[in-house]
């Protein structure tokens, strides 16, 4: 009986996850469609301008790869703002490159940095420069205490 209950819980959890994944992906799909549509708008001048802005804003970072449009990064930038105005911006794209920097103890830290743009009237309009933390998933740590009796 325990095995059957455990199996049913796992099947229920898997089904619930599949349902949630279907609900969560449409907002990400829109970001990728916008990035694909804006691919032709990225010129060498825009890449150079974004590169200069990243180096100026974050002098400790070293750009370690080419800049490219990234739908996931655009979704991270839009969802990281606490205001509701950023959520419906389906024309937001992020031009992102891999970066490295030296840590406190000399270790190499890898991440991403870049710029966000709005696609308006067939051109990219600069919005903001973003560092490593803008493209990382938000993590919430819950501190718990152990009560011993």
Q: Is residue 88 part of a domain?
A: yes
Q: Is residue 122 part of a domain?
A: yes
Rounded Cα distance, 48 and 45, in Å: 5
Which pLDDT value is given to residue 115? 94
What's the domain range around 56? 25-135
Q: Is residue 119 part of a domain?
A: yes
Q: Is residue 109 part of a domain?
A: yes
Backbone phi, psi, residue 115, to 5°: -125, 150
Q: Is residue 91 part of a domain?
A: yes
Which pLDDT value is given to residue 64? 92
Among positive and negative, which fits the CA dihedral 13, 17, 18, 23? positive
Q: Is residue 51 part of a domain?
A: yes
The one-digit pLDDT tens for each residue of the chain (149 residues) are 566 667 667 766 666 656 555 555 566 677 777 777 888 889 999 999 999 999 999 999 999 999 999 888 887 776 665 554 544 467 888 999 999 988 888 888 888 999 999 988 889 999 999 988 777 665 555 555 555 54
Per-state percent for the chain, helix, strand, coil, to nearest 5: 45, 25, 30
Number of domains in the chain: 1
Q: Is residue 76 part of a domain?
A: yes
Which pLDDT value is given to residue 86? 44
Name beta bridge partners: 115. 95, 129
């Amino acid at each position: 009986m325990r095995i059957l209950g455990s199996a049913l819980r796992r099947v229920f959890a898997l089904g619930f996850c599949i349902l949630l994944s279907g609900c969560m992906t449409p907002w990400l799909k829109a970001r990728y469609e916008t990035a694909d549509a804006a691919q032709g708008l990225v010129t060498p001048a825009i890449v150079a301008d974004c590169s200069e802005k990243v180096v100026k804003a974050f002098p400790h970072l070293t750009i370690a790869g080419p800049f490219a449009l990234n739908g996931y990064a655009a979704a991270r930038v839009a969802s990281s703002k606490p205001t509701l105005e950023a959520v419906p911006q389906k024309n937001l794209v992020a031009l992102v490159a891999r970066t490295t920097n030296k840590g406190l103890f000399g270790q190499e830290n890898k991440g991403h940095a870049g710029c966000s743009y709005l696609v308006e009237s067939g051109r990219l309009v600069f919005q903001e420069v973003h560092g490593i933390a803008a493209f990382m998933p938000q993590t919430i740590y819950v501190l718990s205490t152990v009560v011993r009796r």
